[in-house]
Structure 1
């Protein structure tokens, strides 16, 4: 028979067909012309070019053409609702165009594939013998029951594997179920010795570890079904592992497992006790080490504190000794200053006495020398010289050791007032005063220096002064020791010559 059979057979067809799938629940469905059963006539493959084709969303219509050089397919993905045209059928355009110019019926098988559909099938593995690796001479009978669901994800792979040549879904389901039963039996048989991954599971424990067994079987058969049949395993569920508990092997394996479990528990308890003891020992050792470290740190801290305290005490002792030494030196220098000041005053008094004695009993009334017994100019010169020398020595020593000089010079040598009409000896240096000059402290100055400053107009009763022992600055006229400086601050005039 040629491409489309004999010419008279072709003429028997020629009716416009409506090609569509009205099934509600299917995975793969083969279309046939109305009123035709499977295998009754070749007309089921005779399709008029221009017939209407309806493919719903989620469906794929596959046109299978059987040619001398093999089988070819056109895939029409939904949604599609139109007449059969060569624009959407690349393979059909080639066949019809070569044979009849695009106006003749053609032979093709049409299959609808539901990409969203699932088929769920039950399966049962009848009783088969299993063996515990510890007792290989005692078989145990087991049966497995459950269900699985599959669908088509890659329609081109599915068509490539099955070619859809006279494809019948029932035959496919039976073939797929037989293969799955074989895989389930192979995996379950080897679970007790751990051949399919994971730890071995004793036969007597497989029932209560059903989920673990289910996962092991599914992991193995899922890629197998995809590679061999082009379907995707959507769900796999072992509902029952039926073990024949009346057989001799089951009793022996159960006894062996119980003894093994008891021994394992004892061994585990022993291990736990050993681990606990070792943990306690390590904790005690760690505690002892921590205590030793803390004790060592405490001792080191005490040692450091003790050394620091001793060092601080030595520093304080040395500082006190040094302070006492400085105070002693200051006292010695103060005494030295007072001694030198006294010597200067004595020298000045002696000079004035000698000056008076040089003419005391020889009064020249008419001579040019004036009063022969008293030379006022020499007396004033000697007084100035004695005061300057004494003041310079006191300032030199007083500026370096002001405290010592101030504390000691006030009461050692009180000032001596001169008799009326005579010459007075300048008092020794006493209290030293600071004077406020233009908002700044100047000095310190002795009373003698302040007297000279008062005579020259540089110091007056309103000048502010301060000395050691005073609470605040005071006007010089309010200080008892300085009030006498402002009574008569001019040099007495030289007496006139006698007639």
Structure 2
């Protein structure tokens, strides 16, 4: 051992140590307190600041954990370490132990994303691919478990190192969650809040196993290939259209395009002719309101009664058949005394010619045909 080492060791025995960590970085999660040969003097002062936890490890085994405060290190304050060391009646300075300061503040706005597309199966579009990214927040909830299970012997464990571990876990659980959600592909982007909450519930037990608490988890965007976006857009439009009208409209557009084709007069003429016929059919169809447009659900169009048919009469005049004439014309002939009550009349439905006075609907003529008798004095 060199002279310098001897002097340093002697000084460490003569002065009470102060064990503390002043964090000058924004990304350090765990810092190992470095002492000469990991020796800490009996009665040393341990200072744990707010947002920190001090973890004592003996030969890879978790010992005592200290919350924020100031402590004097002795067998009273180190009960687990004293048991591990076999200190029954106190101990002599110095003692060896590894001290890890754990940053317990909330780490926010951490980024995550799917490096590779996530494969999903959709009933309408088959196998599809989506990508997603977002942010999350976490804190160390069990410093002892975290140091033993994650940090190990790393003397300066940073935010970057833990994020690499957490991102793999997040992507795996995200893939499982969206696969089990079994939503139509277009609804993933519209339900990011619900998916975020579900993913956080699924991931929290996984984080808790290594002493981490997942405070917040956000899915900011779910994207898909442009071709799939176009298919979904077209599908949503077609789902709200009258397919018959749409087919006829597209056929008319195709005929119109054929008519404009410069590939021959005969073909152009035929295309124009078919286009005109189809356009006329479409015009007739669209000019008639559909039952759905004109009437409320459950009601149908009222059918008007048939037009009344006029009864035609034939009449005999001077031994000749005249007519046919309508009811009003026959009444006019009766009023002008061309015919009288005994004139023979025939209409459809009568077996023989019949006197006017014997036809039921013509009896109305008789009321004004014969004047009443003259008054007597």
TM-score, structure 1 normalization: 0.41
Look up the SS of the partner of 2:199 in the other structure.
helix
Q: Radius of gyration: which is bigger?
A: 1
1:26 and 1:114 in contact (8 A); partners too: no
Between the aligned partners of 1:173 and 1:118, the Cα distance in structure 2 is 11
Q: Deviation string for 1:355-413 (max 9, x for gaps)?
A: xxxxxxxxxxxxxxxxxxxxxxxxxxxxxxxxxxxxxxxxxxxxxxxxxxxxxxxxxxx
Tell me by how many angstroms 1:212 deviates. Answer: 3.0
1:107 to 91, 96, 118: 96
* Structure 2: 5+ residue stretches without partners: 243-291, 300-377
Structure 1 position 122 matched with structure 2 position 115: no
Indicate the residue corresponding to 1:32 in structure 2. 33
Indicate the residue corresponding to 1:467 in structure 2. none
Q: Deviation string for 1:8-57 (max 9, x for gaps)?
A: x99964625421121165673223337xxxxxxxx452333333211124
Pairs within 5 Å for 1:370-385 = none
Note the aligned Cα RMSD (angstroms). 3.8
Tell me by how many angstroms 1:177 deviates. Answer: 1.9
Q: Count the aligned residue pairs.
A: 238
Structure 1 position 61 matched with structure 2 position 54: yes
Indicate the residue corresponding to 1:218 in structure 2. 200
Structure 1 position 73 matched with structure 2 position 73: no
Look up the SS of the partner of 1:223 in the other structure.
helix
Look up the SS of the partner of 2:114 in the other structure.
strand
Between the aligned partners of 2:216 and 2:48, the Cα distance in structure 1 is 28
Q: Which has a greater percent of strand? A: 2
2:30 and 2:102 in contact (8 A); partners too: yes
Between the aligned partners of 1:110 and 1:19, the Cα distance in structure 2 is 9
Pairs within 5 Å for 1:224-243 = 224-226=206-208, 228-243=209-224
2:146 and 2:211 in contact (8 A); partners too: yes
2:139 to 151, 155, 168: 151
1:209 to 175, 188, 191: 191
TM-score, structure 2 normalization: 0.52
Pairs within 5 Å for 1:16-415 = 16=15, 17-23=17-23, 25=26, 28-33=29-34, 43=36, 45-66=38-59, 71-80=61-70, 82-94=71-83, 98=87, 102-135=91-124, 137=126, 139-159=127-147, 161-162=149-150, 164-166=152-154, 168-169=157-158, 170-188=160-178, 190=179, 195-196=180-181, 200-226=182-208, 228-245=209-226, 247=227, 249-260=228-239
Inter-CA distance 11–186: structure 2 relative to 1 (3 Å threshold): farther
Q: Which has a greater percent of helix? A: 1
| Structure of higher RCO (CA pairs closer than 8 Å, 6+ residues apart) | 2
